[in-house]
Amino acid sequence: MRGHRPRGLTAYPGSPLMHLNPARFLPHLKGLRFDHVEIAERRITLTVTAIAATAACPLCQQRSTTVRSTYTRTVADLPWSGMTVSLQVQTRRFACPVASCERKIFCERLTPFVAVYGRRTHDVRAALRRIVRALGGKAGARLAAHQGIGVSRMTLLRLIHADPAAEVEVPRVIGIDDWSRRRGRRYGSIIVDHDSGTQAQRA
Ligand SMILES: [Zn+2]
């Protein structure tokens, strides 16, 4: 159509996008398939789908092939030539195959490239840590924005203090439970990550 400017490229059978394997030039994005690429003024949006055939239940570790539903996760990736790159990751919720498992439904993990509840890829976090270590929060946030990574000064400062191993699991829903060191004596409380069923902190 005359004057019509396409807003993006959609993968369809036989389209070049279908043959574009993200792992070739974006090796950190393992296990994803490109579905759609949209290029706006200063932003590239990649719609991708997780393609692993199975996912492991985080509670009982059994693998499932039964997909119950899907949802979209928005994850920031490293910019391309100063253009912000946003991943719209089509992510699946699986049914745990073990009838007795307390986790009936679980979300597949995308941990090769993003933390469980992360909104930035591991590569973005690593880049931000390098920036804040070199420049501090205020100048670091300005440089990051100039390079296409939107981040607040306070988030940068939190990153530098965060243990990269610890920040992988940030509980979304927590609960508090009691425990006793000896039966009936010395009580304490634990904070439990409801999604993973694991202990987040003990007091
Ligand atoms: Zn399970």
Listed by start position, the domains of the chain span 9-119, 169-203
Q: Distance, CA 94 to ligand 1 centroid (Å)?
A: 10
Q: Distance, CA 68 to ligand 1 centroid (Å)?
A: 14
CA atoms within 13 A on the CB side of 188: 10
- The pTM assigned to this predicted structure is 0.68
If one compares 132 and 182, the residue with the highest pLDDT of the two is 132
pLDDT at 14: 61
If one compares 41 and 110, the residue with the highest pLDDT of the two is 110
If one compares 184 and 118, the residue with the highest pLDDT of the two is 118
- pLDDT of 137 > 50? The answer is yes
Q: Which of 202, 28, 188, 31 is nearest to 109 (CA)?
A: 31
Q: Distance, CA 178 to ligand 1 centroid (Å)?
A: 23
- pLDDT of 196 > 50? The answer is no
Provide the pLDDT confidence category of residue 73 given band limits of 50, 70 and 90.
very high
Give the integer Cα–Cα distance in Å for 169 and 162.
Answer: 12
Q: Distance, CA 105 to ligand 1 centroid (Å)?
A: 8
> How far from 65 is each of 21, 24, 69, 104, 111, CA to CA, in Å?
23, 26, 12, 13, 18
Provide the pLDDT confidence category of residue 30 given band limits of 50, 70 and 90.
confident
Kindly state the average pLDDT of the residues 162-175: 52
Identify each DSSP E strand in the chain by its residue range. Answer: 8-10, 32-39, 43-50, 55-56, 63-64, 67-80, 83-95, 105-107, 174-182, 185-193, 198-202
Q: Distance, CA 95 to ligand 1 centroid (Å)?
A: 8
pLDDT at 37: 84
Q: Distance, CA 60 to ligand 1 centroid (Å)?
A: 4
**Which residues, in sequence order, are CB contacts of 19 under 8 Å at separation 6+?**
none
Using alpha carbons only, how large is the chain's radius of gyration in Å?
21
If one compares 202 and 152, the residue with the highest pLDDT of the two is 152
Q: Distance, CA 146 to ligand 1 centroid (Å)?
A: 44
Q: Distance, CA 66 to ligand 1 centroid (Å)?
A: 12
Q: Distance, CA 75 to ligand 1 centroid (Å)?
A: 26
The answer to whether the CB of 59 falls within 8 A of the CB of 103 is yes
Provide the pLDDT confidence category of residue 116 given band limits of 50, 70 and 90.
confident
Give the integer Cα–Cα distance in Å for 19 and 99.
Answer: 39
